[in-house]
């Protein structure tokens, strides 16, 4: 309730200061927040982004302020923002105090680990940026995709989410991770019965025998590369069923995002088609 009130008050201040139709100058230090700004059709307010924010190909040049945990106060203030959006991990602490002294609003949002949190973040960003006209549309799209995922019924799937694929050393997602949040989004079960990420050998993963392996795609990581470096996984159910698949790591760097929802829907559709063909 208090966060919602603060968002409303900030929106009113912006309207008075810059005019009803004006937008605040926004820096997004969170890849998921940047995606939400685009979904709300308020990306024109962006004057800066961080390294986790992927802009559409061919989009206008937007200054990069670096990594959200190691921001430079001078670099941020040089862009003259009215609002800085990010997660609870924005830092260092000196940046926050400097922004407060300069009367720059900072919106720190929780990293979404559920659809409910993602929708709440959409609503907060809309309030702070004056983009409330588009909230219902964005929320409706997220809810529709959630319903499609529920209808796909992947509850029987035992999933391993692999963040890193070094030979013999696989970084596997346990609970309280973005990988686990993605698995829960699918409605499946996580084979990682531990907290955070843990390094497992290929042999240990084979023993757990997941029915589906998801590989976080980034430079040098892919399903083919995973099997190339860890050939023993060819003997597991996931490989035999052709279910070692990639997930766009950029869409999960700050928790669930609109892009992660879309990835989950595409994945569920693909799994449904492969099941029907078997």
DSSP classification of residue 190:
E
Question: In CATH, what number is assigned to the domain containing residue 226?
Answer: 3.40.50.1980
CA nearest 114: which of 67, 149, 159, 69? 149
User: pTM here?
Assistant: 0.87
Spatial separation of the C-alpha atoms in residues 277 and 167, rounded to whole Å: 32
pLDDT value of position 55 = 94
DSSP classification of residue 82:
S
pLDDT value of position 18 = 46
Low-confidence ranges of the chain (pLDDT < 50): 1, 5, 8-9, 13, 15-21, 277
pLDDT digits (tens, 9 = 90+) for 63-80: 999 999 999 999 999 999
Spatial separation of the C-alpha atoms in residues 32 and 240, rounded to whole Å: 34
Is the dihedral angle over the CA atoms 166, 168, 173, 179 positive or is it negative? positive
pLDDT digits (tens, 9 = 90+) for 130-159: 999 999 999 999 999 999 999 999 999 999
pLDDT value of position 254 = 86
Dihedral of the CA atoms 247, 141, 51, 196 (nearest 10)? -50
Spatial separation of the C-alpha atoms in residues 201 and 171, rounded to whole Å: 9
3-state DSSP call for residue 67?
Answer: coil
Contacts of 69 (CB under 8 A, 6+ apart): 89, 90, 91, 92
Domain boundary among 93, 124, 147: 147
Residue 129 and residue 57 share a domain: yes
pLDDT value of position 273 = 61
Residue 231 and residue 186 share a domain: yes
Residue 184 and residue 138 share a domain: no
């Amino acid at each position: 309730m208090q966060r919602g009130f603060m968002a409303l008050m900030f929106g009113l201040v912006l309207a008075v200061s810059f005019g009803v139709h004006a937008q605040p100058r926004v820096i997004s230090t969170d890849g998921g927040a940047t995606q939400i700004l685009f979904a709300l059709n308020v990306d024109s307010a962006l004057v800066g982004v961080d390294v986790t924010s992927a802009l559409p190909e061919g989009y206008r040049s937007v200054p990069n302020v670096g990594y959200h945990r190691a921001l430079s106060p001078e670099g941020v203030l040089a862009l003259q923002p009215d609002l800085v959006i990010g997660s609870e991990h924005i830092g260092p602490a000196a940046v926050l105090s400097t922004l407060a002294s300069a009367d720059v609003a900072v919106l720190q949002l929780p990293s979404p680990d559920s659809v409910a949190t993602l929708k709440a973040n959409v609503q907060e960003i809309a309030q702070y940026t004056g983009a409330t006209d588009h909230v219902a549309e964005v929320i409706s799209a997220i809810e529709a995709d959630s319903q499609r995922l529920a209808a796909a019924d992947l509850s029987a799937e035992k999933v391993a989410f692999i963040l890193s694929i070094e030979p013999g050393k696989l970084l596997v997602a346990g609970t309280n991770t973005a990988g686990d949040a993605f698995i829960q989004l699918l409605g499946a079960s996580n084979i990682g019965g531990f907290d955070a990420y843990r390094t497992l050998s290929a042999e240990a993963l084979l023993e757990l025998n997941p029915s589906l392996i998801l590989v976080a795609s980034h430079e040098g990581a892919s399903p083919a590369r995973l099997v190339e470096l860890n050939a023993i996984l060819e003997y597991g159910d996931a490989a035999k069923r052709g279910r070692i698949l990639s997930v766009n790591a950029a869409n999960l760097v700050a928790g669930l995002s609109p892009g992660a929802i879309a990835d989950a829907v595409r994945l569920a559709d693909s799994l449904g088609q492969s099941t029907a063909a078997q």
